[in-house]
Amino acid sequence: MGTGSALWSFVLVVGLLTVTPGIDTALILRTAALGHRRRAWGVVLGIQAGTLLWGTLTSLGLTALLTASRMAYELLRWAGVAYLLWLGGRMVWETLRRRDGRPGETRDGRPARDGLFAGWRQGLVTNLLNPKVGVFYVAVLPQFVPAGAPHFATGVLLAGVHVLLGLVWSTALIGLARTLRDRLRRPAARRVLDRVTGTVIVGLGLRLATSD
């Protein structure tokens, strides 16, 4: 496979992966729809930092441990399950506990933790605790490194392409969420959004727990 054809084939594969709804899409849409623009971009940057790290570790051969060691995969998988259940469950619990306040805001109406770093940390942890991302890179990335090409540099370059596609898609998601922001100013609408998002995240956590 030539360099050009390998690149475009990789773009097609990770492009389809990027637009497939999942935990990343849910977090970005929910955060941006609540009006927390800085935190939403923090989530985006954290997710893409995790993607780049997975690509770099795969290029170094380190993520092969996830497929070679059942224990390593299971430890990371159950850490991811616990985090997703905690994250989604907390969203739902907050909507039940704060019936007289706005989810995601303090009682005086100011945004709660609407910071770039807080979002970046959330996005990074969510990405790194998903072992399926690592397994995907182990299985897919080497197939798109042309014969004779430097493995590490090419692998990191392909991961960078994945990051670029993720940034483009995330920009579209944030733009879509901003059009819905005015409709979500009412506390009732925000509670519904958090309940739906929290339920989706819990569902993804349960799916990860029951997957092989």
Residue 114 lies in a domain: yes
Whether residue 200 lies inside any domain: the answer is no
Q: Helix H segments across 34-113?
A: 37-59, 64-68, 70-97
pLDDT score of 64 more than 80? no
What is the radius of gyration, based on Cα positions, of the chain? 18
Is 98 within a domain?
no
The chain-wide mean pLDDT, for the chain, equals 84
Highest averaged pLDDT of the listed ranges 20-29, 103-112, 187-196: 20-29
Q: Which amino acid is at 33?
A: A
The two three-digit tokens of residue 126, written as one number: 């969510």
In a domain, 157, yes or no: yes
| Domain extent at residue 169 | 3-15+22-77+106-185
Residue 59 is assigned to a structural domain of this protein: yes
What pLDDT is recorded for position 107?
40
Q: First CA to last CA across the chain, in angstroms?
A: 32
Query: Which range, 45-59, 72-86, 120-134, 139-153, has the best average confidence (pLDDT)?
Result: 45-59
With 90 as the cut, is the pLDDT of residue 157 above it?
A: yes
In a domain, 205, yes or no: no
Does residue 106 carry a pLDDT above 70?
A: no
Closest CA to 187 of 93, 86, 100: 100
Let me know if residue 174 belongs to a domain. Answer: yes
61-65, 183-187, 204-208: lowest mean pLDDT where?
183-187
| pLDDT greater than 50 at residue 39 | yes
Residue 154 lies in a domain: yes
Indicate the number of domains in the chain. 1
Secondary structure of residue 96 in the 3-state scheme:
helix
